[in-house]
A and B are shown apart, each in its own frame.
Chain A
Amino acid sequence: MAQLIMTVDDSASMREMVRATLQSAGYEVIEAIDGQEALEYARENTCDLVIADVNMPRMDGITLVSELRALPHYRLTPLLLLTTESSQEKKLEGKRAGATGWIVKPFNPERLLATMARVL
């Protein structure tokens, strides 16, 4: 069975790019438009990996990572942040919240897939 990846971004263009990349590699994809929607889904469902934007309305990606890590069924799930932010302070916040990795946009599809394969 294909692995299920949740992609979280408030930008429809970005969700489309990530979905196209993941589906081309055979993953199943579920999309959420912000951290709040992602968290609501995650409370009831598991997935194999989460790729989340940082700057989003309602709930940002770093808060989402902390909230997911507090759920027993997301304690070990790889959580990648995909963002335009590249400052060390922000990265450190992400790391402290429990993120698995940090990817700066614009992303490179091959490298994104290679990184996922490493952490899955």
Chain B
Amino acid sequence: MSSHKRHAAADRDRDRDRDRDRGSDGELGPHGAVPPTLPHFAHITRYWDRVHRRFAAKLLPGEYYVTTAGEQIVTVLGSCVSACVRDRRLGIGGMNHFMLPLAASKGASSWGTAVSAATRYGSEAMERLINDILKLGGRRESLEFKLVGGGKVLAGIAIDIGVRNIEFVRKYVADEGFSVAGQDLGDIYPRKVHYSPDTGKLRVQKLTAVRNKTLFERERHYLEVLDSETVGNDIELF
């Protein structure tokens, strides 16, 4: 296991322990096992939430998850945004958690804003989520979008990256011809978000007092990783 993966795993274990201490989740569910999911979601942390009496998936920055099994999806957002997308006819859907890389230097200048590294990264985050829902039987015309996050929470960064993330996700949804059924965007607070794709319910708690710095450290780390990567490199000629 790489040290990076080990850190992420340690992060997850810590989260799980903390949530358990607070009584928001804990033992395995009534049937002892989490519902089946797609193989590429095997790394997502899932647990039985005994308060809401259903399984929940917990997203870290850069992750996304789609469920057909009535699970809740939970995350904590600072300046990142999440699109909550579901097929309202089938009650299946999911959520992503992302931000745009800053990366003004990364191949952006000569191609203009339409093809900046930031836009390409954000579009991919949206497209993966939407494609998975469509693959599971969703239809474009039945998709419902709710948008959340983009708070101005990170101190010491000159530009307001929350606003940038909000502008991107709104434009993406509009350009793709979808409308926004609900939103909770901007402001200065981090948010804890619970989304239920089966009902479409989005519950947002504004965190007016953040007890520890984990959220900010994670977002900073995520942003650093994004900015150190060159966006788009994988090409294979047959």
Contacts and interface: CB of A to CB of B under 8 A. Distances in A.
A118 B231 contact: no
Which of A13, A115, A119 has most B Cβ within 10 Å?
A: A13
Contacts of B139: 57
B107 interface: yes
Interface of A: 10-14, 16-17, 20-21, 24, 55, 57, 84, 86, 91, 94-95, 99-112, 115, 118-119
A103 B120 CA distance: 13
A97 to B, nearest CB: 10
Nearest to B111: A109
Which of A24, A95, A108, A112 has most B Cβ within 10 Å?
A: A108
Interface in B174-233: 175-177, 230-233
Interface string B21-59: 000000000000000000000000000000000000000
A115 B235 contact: yes
B237 A111 contact: no
B4 interface: no
Given A17-B119, A106-B232, A95 B238 contact: yes
Nearest 9 Cβ contacts at the A-B interface: A108-B232, A106-B120, A104-B234, A101-B237, A20-B114, A106-B124, A106-B232, A95-B238, A107-B232
B3 interface: no
Contacts of A21: 111, 115
B128 interface: yes
Given A12-B176, A16-B114, A108 B237 contact: no
Contacts of B115: 17, 20-21, 109
Contact of B110 (A24, A94, A103): A24
Interface of B: 107, 110-112, 114-115, 117, 119-121, 123-124, 126-128, 131, 134-135, 139-140, 172, 175-177, 230-238
Contact of B175 (A13, A57, A91, A102): A13
B232 A101 contact: no
A55 B114 contact: no
Contact of A115 (B127, B230, B237): B237
20 contacts: A10-B140, A13-B172, A13-B176, A17-B120, A20-B111, A21-B111, A24-B111, A24-B112, A55-B131, A84-B124, A86-B234, A91-B236, A95-B238, A100-B237, A103-B234, A106-B120, A106-B121, A108-B232, A109-B115, A118-B237
A48 B234 CA distance: 23
A108 B230 contact: yes
Nearest to A92: B238
A105 B107 contact: no
A119 B236 CA distance: 12
A87 B134 CA distance: 18
A57 B180 CA distance: 22
A102 B235 contact: yes
Given A12-B175, A55-B131, A17 B123 contact: yes
A13 B175 CA distance: 6
Contact of B128 (A10, A84, A101): A84
